[in-house]
Amino acid sequence: MQAGSQAMTLSERADALEEHMMHELEHIVTKSVLFNLADGKVEMEGGAALMAKNPGKYMLMGADPRLPKMPDKPTLIDYFRCRFASTAHLLQSATHALKAGHSEKVVLACLLHDVAVVSFIRCDHGYWGAQMIEPYVDEEVSWAVRAHQALRFFPDEAAGYAYPDLYVKYFGPDYQPEPYIVDEYKRARIHRHYMTARLICVNDIYSFDPNAKVNLDDFVDTIGRNFKQPKEGLGLDNSPSAHMWRTMLWPTRFL
C-alpha cells in the first residue's frame, strides 16, 4: 500500500472540518446547488439525509450565525459593510468619476457597477447587478450597469476607452466575447444612455492605488438622493428583486 493512501486528502480534511463546524451550529446550515457547482459537483444534500446526520436539530430558516449580523431593516450601506466581500474597486471607480466631475447618476452607476461580483455572482454580473438595483434607481443607472459588461470588451477611443491590457492578461490574446455579448454591444452602441455605460468603463479602474483615499462615507449622500431605500429594509420589501437581496441576507436558509 502506498504511503498516504490511508491518510485523508486535503479536500477530505476540508470537508471533515466543514462537517465538524456544521455540527457546532445550532441549526442545520444548507448549501444550495450553486455552491456545490462552484466546487465542480452537480450535487445536493436532501432534507432527510441532513436531518439524519444532525439528530435533534432543525433546518436553518433565518440568519446564518457565522455571517456578520444585519440590522432588522437593512439599507444598501449595511450590505456594503456586511455583505460585500470587497468594496475598494467600487469606491475607487466612483471616486474617479466624482473627481472627473460626472453627474450623480454616473457616480452612482460606477459605485454599483460590479455589485453582483462583490456580493453575488461573477458570471453575467452586469445583468444580475442591473436586476438587483433596477427597482431602486433611475433607469439610466441600471441600464448602464447591465451594458457595461458588454461594452468593456469593445474599445471606444474617442471616449477615452481602450481594450484593457488586463483582459489580455486574464483571458488570453485570442479571447472573443460570445455572440450574445456582441449583440448586447451593438444594441448599447445606439442606446440613449450609451455614454453612461461607457463612462463606467472609463472609470472602471483595476489597479488599486494604495495611496488613494476612498471612503464609503463620501457616497452616503449620493446614495441617499439616488437610491430609493425601502422603508421595510432592502430585501424585505416586495420589489421585483427583493428576493435577490434576501438571498444575500440569508444565503444558507433551507428554503
Spatial neighbors of 170 by CB under 8 A, at least 6 apart, are none
Whole-number minimum distance, CB 15 to Fe ion, in Å? Answer: 33
Pick between residue 138 and residue 204 the one whose CB is nearest to Fe ion: 204
| Three-state SS at 28 | strand
Site for Fe ion in 208-227 (CB under 5 A): none
Q: At residue 4, what are phi and psi to the nearest 5 degrees?
A: 95, -10
Spatial neighbors of 65 by CB under 8 A, at least 6 apart, are 25, 26
Whole-number minimum distance, CB 54 to Fe ion, in Å? Answer: 39
User: C-alpha grid cell for residue 205?
Assistant: 479602474
What does the per-residue mask of binding to Fe ion show for 153-192, with x meaning CB under 5 A?
----------------------------------------
What does the per-residue mask of binding to Fe ion show for 90-129, with x meaning CB under 5 A?
------------------------x---------------
Pick between residue 29 and residue 108 the one whose CB is nearest to Fe ion: 108
Whole-number minimum distance, CB 126 to Fe ion, in Å? Answer: 6
DSSP structural state of residue 161: B
Pick between residue 153 and residue 245 the one whose CB is nearest to Fe ion: 153
Pick between residue 114 and residue 138 the one whose CB is nearest to Fe ion: 114
Whole-number minimum distance, CB 229 to Fe ion, in Å? Answer: 24
Spatial neighbors of 191 by CB under 8 A, at least 6 apart, are 143, 147, 197
Pick between residue 58 and residue 163 the one whose CB is nearest to Fe ion: 163
Q: Which one of residues 134, 138, 204, 237 is an interface residue with Fe ion (CB under 5 A)?
A: 204
Using H for helix, E for strand and C for coil, what is the string for 31-78? CCHHHHHCCCCCCCCCHHHHHHHCCCCCECCCCCCCCCCCCCCCCHHH
Whole-number minimum distance, CB 149 to Fe ion, in Å? Answer: 6
Q: Return d(Cα 201, Cα 196) in angstroms, integer.
A: 9
Nearest to 87 by CA among 191, 215, 184: 215
Q: Return d(Cα 82, Cα 115) in angstroms, integer.
A: 13
Pick between residue 167 and residue 254 the one whose CB is nearest to Fe ion: 167
Count of residues engaged in binding Fe ion, rule: CB under 5 A: 2
Q: Return d(Cα 95, Cα 212) in angstroms, integer.
A: 9
Whole-number minimum distance, CB 200 to Fe ion, in Å? Answer: 8
Whole-number minimum distance, CB 192 to Fe ion, in Å? Answer: 21
Using the contact rule CB under 5 A, the part of the chain among 169-177, 198-206, 207-215, 239-247 near Fe ion is 198-206
Q: Which residues of the chain form contacts with Fe ion (CB under 5 A)?
A: 114, 204
